Amino acid sequence: MIKQLILSIIFVNSLFAVNLKIEDKISNFSLIDQFDKIHTITNDIKIIIVTFEKDTLSMVNNFLSSKSPLFLENHQAIVINNISSTPSIITKMFTLPKLRDYKYSILLIYDENNTKFTKQTGKITTYSLENGVIKDIRFLSSTYELEEFLK
């Protein structure tokens, strides 16, 4: 019941979302991770890494699996995966169990109407923030580019 309420609130907030642009201020918002834990994105976050596809999430995981479990926290970064296009039965049976094996939290977008984050096919979308304001948006194609970005 609580999960449904939270998802409803997230859904309502995302109905009015448009693609974030440079100099946009990100208002606090919450997403649920693969363990059903709620995370609120605040002005403390410096980097948002967003994936929309299995392959781009694999690139991010390949990079992060070689790092300390505190890597994201130390870099004030979060990973968001948009799984809205995955059928719910596949999400429940395969996607979530696999994501629960990862050693870091992945915030999940279930709502296909959430267009807050910009997607480019085959790319990892990254947002650099200062005090909640977007200063840079990049589209990365490889683990190497992600590593260079996070240095």
Residue 5 — left, alpha, or beta (φ > 0 → left; ψ -120 to 50 → alpha)? Answer: alpha
Cα distance between the two ends of the chain? 42
Residue 4: what pLDDT?
59
pLDDT at res. 16: 46
What are the residues facing 140 on neighbouring strands? 124
Point out the residues of the chain with pLDDT beneath 50.
Answer: 12, 14-16
Distances (CA, A) of 17 to 21, 28, 91, 112, 125: 12, 13, 24, 12, 17
Domain count, the chain: 1
- Domain of 12 in residue numbering reads as 2-149
Domain CATH number, residue 86: 3.40.30.10
Q: Which two tokens stand for residue 80?
A: 């968001």
Of 45, 46, 37, 39, nearest in space to 3 by CA: 37
Q: What is the pLDDT of residue 137?
A: 97
Q: What integer pLDDT is reported at residue 8 of this predicted model?
A: 52
pLDDT of residue 125: 98
